[in-house]
Amino acid sequence: MLLRSLLPVCMRGVRSAGTPRVMHQLASTTKPALDISGIYPPISTPFDEREQVDYDKLEENLQKYSSIPFRGIVVQGSNGEYAYMSREERLEIVHRVRQKLPKEKILIAGSGCESTQATIEMSRQMGEAGAEAVLVVTPCYYRGRMTSSALVHHYTKVADSSPVPVILYSVPGNTGLDLPVDAVVALAKHPNIIGIKDSGGDITRMGLIIHKTQHLDFQVLSGSASFLLAGYAVGAVGGVCALANVLGAQVCELERLCVSGQWQEARKLQLRLIEPNAAVTRSFGIPGMKQAMEWFGYHGGNCRSPLVPLTEQEQKELRGFFTNNGWL
């Protein structure tokens, strides 16, 4: 009922098929520094049997993704296992992806580290490696002290120094920390902070952020395919969706239906994506996503330890979520 009640008022930020992308902030008269509207897969990193990055398979995945109407690619997000990589590996992946990615596609690179100084340096290097924007996850190791004041200070320092625009990244499922709304609103005023990827799944919170920043050039991306329709309904401009690694064309079709106002068709498709998305995120995580990629003709590859592959029983359960919704 919530989604149905939202549909009549969600046309803000919607574009008709064949028309240029528009921002949801109609009150703004200036263009954003970088329009990030659209769908992005936060691509996985295939590892070989020795748990080394398999760059050949990574490039083959990029080639296959080139036929899907993604707006761009996110590298070194949570699904890329960035937390298990060296600085050199992270930068090399960004460099190689930029070389293979068409020029019109946007490359967003995760540059978040625990310290502000390390994040500043990583953001600078990501920009030099070819990223058009950096995605900065909340530092969380000392989460008890990560107050709004501390987070505003952190992101302001990073944005002041970054050579490319900054996108905030709130993913409480991994960090145990939600970027507070008041901090997001304060940071949205920074000229080099252009948006947020919100993976928490609280549509009320997402709508409140959009409402409080609608006079600014600030863009909100849904952080999951499970609530992509709901995100568009309250004014989000796109999504960074793990499921797009597996069902990229279908996630992009959901985007098309939403932005062209075909809400009944969008609702039917959204419902079929909820269980598969939950399976490759909350239920089975990265090992599940990589297994599903293999079924759909992509290279998931091995995970890097301490992540381990799915058991046979887990694979059976995972496959059920795709078959029961008509995808396999």
Distance CA 87, CA 143 (A): 23
The pLDDT value recorded for residue 33 is 83
Give the model's confidence band at 27: pLDDT under 50 very low, under 70 low, under 90 confident, else very high.
very low
Give the model's confidence band at 30: pLDDT under 50 very low, under 70 low, under 90 confident, else very high.
low
- Render 131-166 in DSSP notation, one character per residue: -SEEEEEPP-TTGGG--HHHHHHHHHHHHHH-SS-E
Classify residue 43 as left (phi > 0), alpha (psi -120 to 50) or beta.
beta
Share of the chain above pLDDT 70, in %: 90
User: Mean pLDDT throughout 118-144?
Assistant: 97
The pLDDT value recorded for residue 18 is 37
Distance CA 218, CA 319 (A): 38
Q: Which residue among the candidates 31, 64, 100, 197 is catalytic per the annotation?
A: 197
Instruction: Identify whether 212 is a catalytic site residue.
Output: no
Distance CA 8, CA 219 (A): 21
The pLDDT value recorded for residue 234 is 97
H-helix or E-strand spanning residue 26: none
The pLDDT value recorded for residue 1 is 42
Distance CA 151, CA 173 (A): 18
Alpha-carbon torsion (286, 121, 119, 30), positive or negative? negative
Question: For the chain, what is the mean pLDDT?
Answer: 91
13 has pLDDT over 60: no
219 has pLDDT over 70: yes
% helix, strand, coil for the chain, step of 5: 50, 10, 40
User: Mean pLDDT throughout 269-286?
Assistant: 97
Tokens (6 digits) for 139: 């530092």
pTM exceeds 0.85, yes or no: yes
Radius of gyration of the CA atoms of the chain, in A: 19
Alpha-carbon torsion (246, 100, 35, 109), positive or negative? positive
Give the model's confidence band at 129: pLDDT under 50 very low, under 70 low, under 90 confident, else very high.
very high
User: Mean pLDDT throughout 193-212?
Assistant: 97
Q: 165, 34 in Cβ contact below 8 A?
A: yes
pLDDT in tens, 171-192: 999 999 999 999 999 999 999 9
Q: 178, 204 in Cβ contact below 8 A?
A: no
Distance CA 131, CA 219 (A): 18
